[in-house]
């Protein structure tokens, strides 16, 4: 089952396309990092997925063919919007009671136990809690609905490193115990690369990279070799980014595990990290790594 499936999906705000020609098929059971700079269309995509906005173009379904925002989708998808919106004047206990009334599926015992584990007094007003604790309450409310798909828009932005760690641990525990799928959006990859096993990179409203993190990492190498040998590399080798110096050039290439063509040109092939890979694509918005019939990427000129 694909938790999110879209083809040619687009959303326009007046004359500006916030999202264009977005085609994805994300299988269930993943922790997905949706990464891109501010303004790249992440919130727009997530709001389409939860049915808060309607597409201007293309098709979109969730949970194996369900229409976003429909009754079956609403009960199975939980969404935590940016800044963990909560009623600041309500107490923690009242927040849980309100959520219990608003949701058909609601695990009150689990929610209360979790608040106790977090050492948050039920009588505390939400507005008086730290942003880390507020985020924990928001995710507790989302998880107590027992969703199959949890969507979190920029959940880490306001949290300090310790709160980020605790927040991610809470989400990963839900993934491990209940097998839910999670989509995080973020404008920075730091920390998400530890937890995400599926990556979608958005740039200027289009999907630049999509796929399982391990497969993407295994499909790329950093080629390091003499600058005057660059022309000896196979012309069809997809080069994503280049750092040139007088003597040595480093090329991030989509070339899989076969080091021979690079070695023949005098280049050594080093493994790449997820963050390095994402940054290389973001620096070159024309480059793509998308699953296709052949899995091939267009060859291109070595970028300057
Ligand atoms: P991100 O979440 O990656 O920061 P957004 O989806 O919020 O990106 O925005 C993508 C683009 O759409 C930006 O150029 C933004 O200014 C524009 N945009 C988003 N929401 C609206 C809106 N309600 N009206 C007009 N333009 C919008």
> Which pLDDT belongs to residue 120?
93
Q: Does residue 294 carry a pLDDT above 70?
A: no
40 lines ligand 1 (CB under 6 A): yes
- How many beta carbons lie within 10 A of that of residue 202, not counting itself? 24
- pTM value is 0.91
In the reported structure, the alpha carbon of residue 41 is separated from the centroid of ligand 1 by a whole-number distance in angstroms of 6
Which residue owns the Cα nearest ligand 1 atom 24? 13
Question: Which ligand 1 atom is nearest residue 36's CA?
Answer: 3
Q: Does residue 85 carry a pLDDT above 90?
A: no
- Average pLDDT on 7-21 reads 96
pLDDT grade, residue 257 (50/70/90)?
low
249 lines ligand 1 (CB under 6 A): no
43 lines ligand 1 (CB under 6 A): yes
Question: Is there a contact between 78 and 123 (Cβ–Cβ < 8 Å)?
Answer: no
In the reported structure, the alpha carbon of residue 39 is separated from the centroid of ligand 1 by a whole-number distance in angstroms of 5
Alpha carbon dihedral 143, 144, 145, 147, in 10-degree steps, equals 30
In angstroms, the CA 64 to CA 282 distance is 30
Residues 95-154: tens digit of each pLDDT: 999 999 988 889 999 999 999 988 999 999 999 998 888 988 999 999 999 999 999 998
In the reported structure, the alpha carbon of residue 116 is separated from the centroid of ligand 1 by a whole-number distance in angstroms of 38
> Which pLDDT belongs to residue 292?
54
219 lines ligand 1 (CB under 6 A): no
Burial class (CB in 10 A: 0-12, 13-18, 19+), 89: exposed
15 lines ligand 1 (CB under 6 A): no
Q: Does residue 88 carry a pLDDT above 70?
A: yes
The domains found in the chain, sorted by start residue, are 2-212 (3.40.50.300), 219-301 (no CATH)
- Average pLDDT on 204-211 reads 95
Question: Is there a contact between 215 and 254 (Cβ–Cβ < 8 Å)?
Answer: no
Q: How far is CA 91 from the centre of its chain?
A: 31
Question: Is there a contact between 1 and 181 (Cβ–Cβ < 8 Å)?
Answer: no
> Which pLDDT belongs to residue 303?
54
- Average pLDDT on 61-75 reads 95
- 92-102 vs 131-144: helix axis angle to the nearest 10? 30
In the reported structure, the alpha carbon of residue 44 is separated from the centroid of ligand 1 by a whole-number distance in angstroms of 6
> Which pLDDT belongs to residue 217?
93
- Average pLDDT on 260-281 reads 91
Which residue owns the Cα nearest ligand 1 atom 16? 39
41 lines ligand 1 (CB under 6 A): yes
Higher-pLDDT residue of 288 and 200 is 200
């Amino acid at each position: 089952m694909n938790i999110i499936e879209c083809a040619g999906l687009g959303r326009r705000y007046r004359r500006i396309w916030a999202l264009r020609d977005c085609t994805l098929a994300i299988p269930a059971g993943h922790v997905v990092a949706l990464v891109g700079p501010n303004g790249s269309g992440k919130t727009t995509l997530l709001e389409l997925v939860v049915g808060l906005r309607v597409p201007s173009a293309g098709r979109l379904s969730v949970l194996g063919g369900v229409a976003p925002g429909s009754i079956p989708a609403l009960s199975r998808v939980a969404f935590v919007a940016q800044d963990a919106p909560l009623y600041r004047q309500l107490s923690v206990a009242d927040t849980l009671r309100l959520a219990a009334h608003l949701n058909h599926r609601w695990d009150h015992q689990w929610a209360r136990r979790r608040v106790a584990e977090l050492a948050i007094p039920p009588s505390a007003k939400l507005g008086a809690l730290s942003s880390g604790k507020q985020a924990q309450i928001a995710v507790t409310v989302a998880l107590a609905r027992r969703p199959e798909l949890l969507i979190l828009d920029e959940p880490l932005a306001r949290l300090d490193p310790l709160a980020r760690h605790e927040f991610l641990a809470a989400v990963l525990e839900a993934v491990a115990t209940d097998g839910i799928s999670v989509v995080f959006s973020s404008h920075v990859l730091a920390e998400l690369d530890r937890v995400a096993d599926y990556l979608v990179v958005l740039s200027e409203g289009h999907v630049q990279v999509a796929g399982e993190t391990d497969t993407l990492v295994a499909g790329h190498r950093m080629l390091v070799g003499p600058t005057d040998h660059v022309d000896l590399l196979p012309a069809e080798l997809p080069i994503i980014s280049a750092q040139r110096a007088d003597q040595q050039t480093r090329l991030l290439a989509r070339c899989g595990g076969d080091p021979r063509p690079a070695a023949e040109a005098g280049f050594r092939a080093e493994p790449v990290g997820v963050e390095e890979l994402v940054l290389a694509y973001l620096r070159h918005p024309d480059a793509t790594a998308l699953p296709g019939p052949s899995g091939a990427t267009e060859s291109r000129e070595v970028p300057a």
